[in-house]
Amino acid sequence: MKALSYKGYSARIEFDGDDEIFVGRIAGIQDVVGFHADTVTDLKAAFHEAVNDYIETCKKVGKAPQKSLSGNLMLRVSPEVHSKAAIAAELAGKSLNEWGQEAIAHALEKASA
């Protein structure tokens, strides 16, 4: 899965079979910013326009545009999973943060294949 990205923003894209259009939304922010088009080329242009409009609108109203997530991730897992992850990290000679980041990155690569 390849995501559209522009100026640090990414988009979630779906296909609307009823209207036969691509529908997108900026991902990773709480503000709702959507766009749509009926071709991939037009979809990319609509995404860029939506990002630019979002940034400009925020400036006009005196609000800072929301950005992608900070990189801090809190997970709640069972004590068994926590223990196994901590042991796996130690055996790999890594901190739990380093090990966890690599494990998540690996899972994302598999999901994108």
Pairing assessment for the beta strands 34-37 and 21-27 based on DSSP bridges: antiparallel
Sign for the CA dihedral angle at 108, 55, 51, 19 comes to positive
Please check whether residues 41 and 12 belong to one and the same domain: yes
In a domain, 74, yes or no: no
**68 in a domain, yes or no?**
no
In a domain, 72, yes or no: no
- Overall pTM surpassing 0.75 (yes/no): no
Whether residues 12 and 53 fall in one domain: yes
- Give me the domain span that covers residue 99: 79-112
pLDDT at 69: 66
Q: Give the pLDDT of residue 24.
A: 95
For 26, phi then psi, to 5°, come to -65, 130
d(CA 90, CA 10): 34
- Its sign, for the CA torsion 60, 64, 69, 73, is negative
Same domain for 87 and 43: no
Closest C-alpha to 41, from 72, 4, 69 = 4
46 plus 84 within the same structural domain: no
Which amino acid would we find at residue 14? E
Are residues 10 and 51 located together in one domain of the fold? yes
User: Is residue 44, in this structure, part of any structural domain at all?
Assistant: yes
Digit-coded pLDDT (tens) for 2-54: 678 899 899 999 999 999 999 999 998 989 999 999 999 999 999 999 999 99
Task: State the Cα–Cα distance between residues 92 and 31, nearest whole angstrom.
Answer: 40
Count of the separate structural domains present in the chain: 2
Residue 87 and residue 44 in one domain: no
Residues 12 and 44 in one domain: yes
- Decide if 97 is inside a domain: yes
